[in-house]
Amino acid sequence: MKAIAKCKNFFKTLSEKLKALPKKLSARFAGAKEILSQGNGKVTASMAVMGLGQLLYRQWAKGAMFLFVQIAFVTYFILTGATDLFGFFTLGTREGNAWYGVEGDNSVVMLIMGILAIFMIVLYIAIYIANVKDAYRIQCAVDTLKEPAAFREEAGALLDKSFHKTALALPVIGVCVFSILPIVFMILIAFTNYGDTIVPPALVSWVGLENFRKILTLGQFAPTFFKIFGWNMLWAVMSTALNYLAGLGLALLLNKACVKGKAIWRAFPILAYAIPGFITLLGFKFMFSYGGPINYYIQQGGGEAVGFLGLDAKWSARFIGLGVNAWISIPSTMLLATGILSNVNTDLYEAARVDGASAWKQFIKITLPYVLFATTPVLITQFIGNFNNFGIFYFLRDGLNIDGYFLASDTDLLINWLYRMSIDNNYYSIGAAISLVIFIITSVISLAVYVLSPSYKQEETFR
């Protein structure tokens, strides 16, 4: 019931926001209108050539910087930018032949460089607007007979008022190039015919929604998709809950006053943390195999060997996966929880103790809300991480086709299935289309959870 109410609430705020949108937009454009109508000759100069207005106002350093940006961009467009941008649309026109040394176009590289060119153009527009706004700001200052801010002052603001701009510049650029660009690339690949025999030097072309049509018309596809999706959701929820609760529990346990030698006790999980994941996974796979040590002892004790990860081992393999994943992830959750617990306001506990609240009550009323608040985003990231946890079942139980599944096993997650289908035969475009579908489903779910979570709504609560 509560959930439904929450959803209703969500949509209500959404519709309100939508209604407010035109107003907001017009408010935005009001600023632009003002500059357009009030801007003087020097601002116009900045509009024609970046930095010119600033130079005319004798703001040498800033003007020179804007001018430099202008020159740099024009050079970039002449050298590669324009060709890259065209390449984005054509994806290459000339097929190479390495046998006779004929150089051709590499469609995929052209696509990437094309995306980069578009990024650059967006960046250019942003700097251009900043340049015009800046010129107008100087105009206003001069008009009101104030001394326009000196360059040194403005540079100083970068460490104070606009500290966030300085601090975020590098991370944003890095994330754009190495995280966002690859994803944009993948999304675009879903609309091409890249893959199978069409890989460079063959020329790739845009095919619109063809890949999605193919997926929808595949009869075998849907049943397996829903089976795997169901298990994938279950897995993500269970493993996230398990890792989170166990990590938190461990941190609380180690926080108890009666525990002596905390550093030593804490070191054991750290051992697990210190060993790279793939080594752990290979080790556990061996441990549970027919020839592994556990079966050795079972057989020594006169029992029959057990196929923990074998053909029929649907649930035992799933539980082993959960356990192994927990073994790998609990230590880092514990570290995190320890850090956060050390930040809880101890006064609250004292007050609670004075009021005679039990330890359990203290946990429920103080610790849990606090920790939950601080870690909701982490919880979501962990959920996503587990949802897309490729390694666990790839290492533990790869290479099986189970009846009733289309080219998959009953422990495979969507990402394993996707990998099997797309990588072995390099069906990049179809793989990208499927991941786009999965991506849309999962992101809608987690975004909704996030937006509805208290830590997003009331960021200021615990201040």
Q: Interface with other proteins includes 438 (CB under 8 A)?
A: yes
User: Looking at beta carbons only, is 1 or 68 nearer to other proteins?
Assistant: 68
Q: Interface with other proteins includes 270 (CB under 8 A)?
A: yes
Among positions 119, 151, 231, 273, the unique one binding other proteins when judged by CB under 8 A: 273
Contacts of residue 332, Cβ cutoff 8 Å, sequence gap at least 6: 247, 273
CA 80, 83, 85, 90 dihedral sign is negative
Amino acid symbol at 222 = A
Q: Interface with other proteins includes 352 (CB under 8 A)?
A: no
- Nearest distance from residue 357's CB to other proteins, in Å? 17
Any idea what DSSP says for residue 23? H
Alpha carbon 449 to its chain centroid, in Å, reads: 15
Contacts of residue 324, Cβ cutoff 8 Å, sequence gap at least 6: 280, 281, 284, 392, 396
Restricted to residues 299-318, the positions that interact with other proteins (CB under 8 A) are 300, 305, 307, 309-312
3-state percent helix, strand, coil for the chain, nearest multiple of 5: 75, 0, 25
Q: What does the angle CA 344 – CA 349 – CA 352 come to, to the nearest 5 degrees?
A: 145
Q: What does the angle CA 459 – CA 461 – CA 463 come to, to the nearest 5 degrees?
A: 95
Q: Interface with other proteins includes 49 (CB under 8 A)?
A: yes
What does the block give as tokens for 275?
């060993």
- Nearest distance from residue 393's CB to other proteins, in Å? 14
Cis peptide leading into residue 201 (ω within 30°) = yes
User: Looking at beta carbons only, is 11 or 286 nearer to other proteins?
Assistant: 286
Among positions 108, 228, 242, 317, the unique one binding other proteins when judged by CB under 8 A: 108
- Nearest distance from residue 65's CB to other proteins, in Å? 18
Q: What does the angle CA 402 – CA 404 – CA 407 come to, to the nearest 5 degrees?
A: 55
- Are 139 and 43 in contact, with CB atoms under 8 Å apart? yes
Restricted to residues 126-145, the positions that interact with other proteins (CB under 8 A) are 128, 132
The beta strands (E) that lie in 193-293 are given as none
Restricted to residues 71-100, the positions that interact with other proteins (CB under 8 A) are 74, 77-78, 81-83, 85-87, 90, 92-95, 97-100
Among the listed ranges 8-16, 58-66, 138-146, 449-457, the one in contact with other proteins (CB under 8 A) is 449-457
Q: Interface with other proteins includes 452 (CB under 8 A)?
A: no
Among the listed ranges 60-68, 70-78, 145-153, 314-322, the one in contact with other proteins (CB under 8 A) is 70-78
User: Looking at beta carbons only, is 243 or 435 nearer to other proteins?
Assistant: 435
How far apart are the C-alpha atoms of 129 and 29, rounded to whole Å?
Answer: 13
Q: Interface with other proteins includes 14 (CB under 8 A)?
A: no
Q: Interface with other proteins includes 163 (CB under 8 A)?
A: yes
Among the listed ranges 2-10, 54-62, 145-153, 410-418, the one in contact with other proteins (CB under 8 A) is 410-418
Question: How many residues lie near other proteins (CB under 8 A)?
Answer: 182
- Kindly tell me the burial class for residue 418, based on how many C-beta atoms sit within 10 Å of its own C-beta (0-12, 13-18, 19 or more): buried
Q: Interface with other proteins includes 349 (CB under 8 A)?
A: no
Restricted to residues 208-237, the positions that interact with other proteins (CB under 8 A) are 214, 218, 220-221
Q: Interface with other proteins includes 42 (CB under 8 A)?
A: no
What does the block give as tokens for 426?
């390099």
Q: Interface with other proteins includes 271 (CB under 8 A)?
A: yes
